[in-house]
Amino acid sequence: MNSGTYPYNEFVEADGMRDGSDYDGATIYYPTNTSEIHASIIIAPGYLNTELTIQNWGPFLASHGIVTMTIGTNGLTDTHLQRRDALLDAKQTLIDENQRQQSPLYGVLDIERIAVGGFSKGGGGAQMAAVADPSFKAVIALYPWLEDPIEEDLNHAIPVLIISGELDFIAPPSEHANIHYDYTPSSTLKLKYEVQLATHDAIGGPFGGYNEVGSKTLAWLKTFLLEDDCYCPLLSLVPESASQFTTNVECQSTSVIQQFKNDQKSLVKVTDILGKEIDQKPTGQILFFFYNDGTMEKRIISDWR
């Protein structure tokens, strides 16, 4: 499902990408028809999961302008430490693509803006990758799993979004996601969103929690990976699908648009952050206004009049 405004494409190792020794197979999804320099994220799968289970994030994030690399692991039973190493190795591959002249990403990656993420043990590996490499800009820990974690395992300063499932009996939040949140330093920006009635399932991806998992993840990456403060107010909004929600993120006040009349051009459509057209009165959210001259405006709405 292409939820964003960017068309996208993909390529794999057979197209000339570096074959990293610490992971097995990779796909890179990237926005097309744009001259922008793009930030990126690398995502690893969970225990007994293949790359296929996390590839739903590729089209979703690429369609929103974020280059997304999904990887497989050398073994389906690889530990969280091996998944950490896989993510770190994949980062080098991504950087190399910015320098490979035959790559679709040649010269269009911002190698200073790379995020890391993963599902289950991949989420645990992403957290540990952040400890090992403080240059990452954001962490997305999806239903994360770590065996007997200690504070040292999660001692990093990189903004981390933790998604968990209320009915996850494989990585129960009380034994995993909640500990991830509590053990990550209080000085680190962090958010924990427990999805009501959700289990340990990667397949839902960004469309879990009635699409609110994708919305929150996108807002997190836009805020901390792309450094677009406009999205920060979305982070404090508690999703309707949340059974638990806590964060230490506080956003600075932003300018508020109360009316959207424009005498110079005609409004074609208004969409929310996921590209869904809006035809009701929204408050306190980011909307995108598309006009018939091809331009687009992004606004925070306090009242629709």
Cα–Cα distance between 149 and 86 in angstroms, integer?
A: 19
pLDDT of residue 233: 87
Question: Please, are residues 244 and 173 in contact by the beta-carbon 8 Å criterion?
Answer: yes
- For residue 275, the model assigns a pLDDT of 64
For the chain, give the percent of residues with pLDDT over 90: 75
Domain ranges of the chain: 8-247, 255-305
- The topology under which CATH files domain 8-247 is Rossmann fold (3.40.50)
Determine whether 120 is an active site residue. yes
Given 120, 164, 215, 241, the catalytic residue: 120
Q: 163-187: per-residue pLDDT in tens?
A: 999 999 999 999 999 999 999 999 9
Average pLDDT over residues 85-104: 98
Q: Is 48 left (phi over 0), alpha (psi -120 to 50) or beta?
A: left
Mean pLDDT, the chain, rounded, equals 89
pLDDT band at 259 (very low <50, low <70, confident <90, very high): very low
DSSP secondary structure, 181-247, as one string: HHHS-TTS-EEEEEETT--S-STTGGGTTTTHHHHHHHHHHHHHTS--GGGHHHHTSPPTTEEEEEE
Instruction: Give whole-number Cα distances, 205 to 152, 208, 232, in Å.
Output: 29, 6, 22
The stretch 35-52 carries a mean pLDDT of 96
8-state DSSP, 46 = -
Lowest mean pLDDT among 26-40, 93-107, 243-257: 243-257
Active-site position among 153, 168, 176, 241: 168
C-beta separation of 11 from 68 below 8 A: no
Question: What's the whole-number mean pLDDT along residues 9-28?
Answer: 97
Ramachandran region, residue 137 (left: φ > 0; alpha: ψ -120 to 50; beta: rest)? alpha
pTM to 2 decimals?
0.86
Catalytic residue, chosen from 3, 200, 215, 241, is 200
| Assigned token pair, 253 | 């006040």
Separation between Cα atoms, residue 70 and residue 174, nearest integer Å: 28
Q: Residue 304: pLDDT above 90?
A: no
Q: Residue 293 has what pLDDT? A: 60
Higher pLDDT, 289 or 225: 225
**pLDDT tops 70 at residue 244:** yes
Rounded alpha-carbon distances, angstroms, from residue 212 to 171, 205, 246 = 20, 10, 15
Catalytic: 168?
Answer: yes
Show the tokens assigned to 226. Answer: 């792309």
